[in-house]
């Protein structure tokens, strides 16, 4: 019996380059994951070449580290957790959204046709709409209506999720 991952690779063979397929079928992430697990996030920060909180930058992780140095109110765990979340969430959303956008366009040929006819005029709006429509992080954020709102024929009542 063929496993699902093997069947998926077999299905992709005709359309993807042989070199890429060979890499996909032999890639084993286990050794890398084991090394990362052994190091642990605190270990990596403590053994960095320079104190990370002394490096100034505009990104959120550096601001968090700067805040820790300035106030000493955050523990190492409180500092590392959000930094890891930012790294993982940023990577996942960035790598998944383009593919989901293409899939959404392929699923709606009319929208794809309109975008092809006027890419300069529609691309910015299309990207914004795809980010809204395909939000891959919406399951982690619970939103509630702050007040009753009527949209068309539908009323969304206060405190409704």
Query: In the chain, pLDDT over 90 holds for what percent of residues?
Result: 19
Band (113; pLDDT cuts 50, 70, 90)? very high
| Range 141-154 average pLDDT | 85
Mean pLDDT of the chain: 71
> Distance (Å, rounded) from C-alpha 161 to C-alpha 143?
6
Distance, CA of 47 to CA of 43 (rounded, Å): 6
Lowest mean pLDDT among 9-18, 73-82, 151-160: 9-18
pLDDT of residue 148: 93
Q: Is the pLDDT of residue 135 over 50?
A: yes
CA atoms of 144 and 157, how far apart (whole Å):
9
Report, as an integer, the average pLDDT of 152-159. Answer: 91
Burial of 65 (0-12, 13-18, 19+ CB in 10 A): buried
In this predicted structure, the answer to whether residue 124 has a pLDDT above a threshold of 60 is: yes
The predicted model gives 17-43 an average pLDDT of: 61
> Per-residue pLDDT tens for 55-111?
444 566 666 666 666 666 666 666 666 767 777 777 777 788 888 888 889 999 999
Residue 160: per-residue pLDDT: 84
> Token digits for 150?
């009527």
Confidence (pTM): 0.39
Mean pLDDT on 135-156? 78
């Amino acid at each position: 019996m063929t496993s699902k991952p093997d069947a998926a690779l077999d299905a992709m063979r005709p359309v993807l380059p042989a070199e890429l397929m060979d890499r996909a079928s032999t890639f084993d992430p286990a050794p890398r994951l084991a090394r990362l697990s052994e190091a642990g996030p605190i270990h990596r920060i403590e053994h960095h070449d320079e104190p990370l909180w002394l490096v100034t930058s505009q990104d959120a992780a550096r601001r968090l580290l700067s805040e820790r140095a300035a106030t000493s109110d955050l523990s190492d765990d409180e500092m590392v957790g959000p930094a890891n979340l930012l790294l993982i969430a940023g990577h996942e959303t960035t790598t998944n959204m383009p593919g989901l956008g293409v899939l959404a366009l392929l699923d709606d040929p009319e929208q794809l046709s309109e975008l092809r006819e006027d890419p300069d005029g529609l691309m910015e709006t299309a990207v914004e709409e795809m980010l809204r429509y395909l939000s891959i992080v919406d399951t982690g954020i619970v939103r509630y209506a702050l007040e009753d709102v009527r949209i068309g024929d539908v009323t969304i009542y206060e405190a409704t999720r």
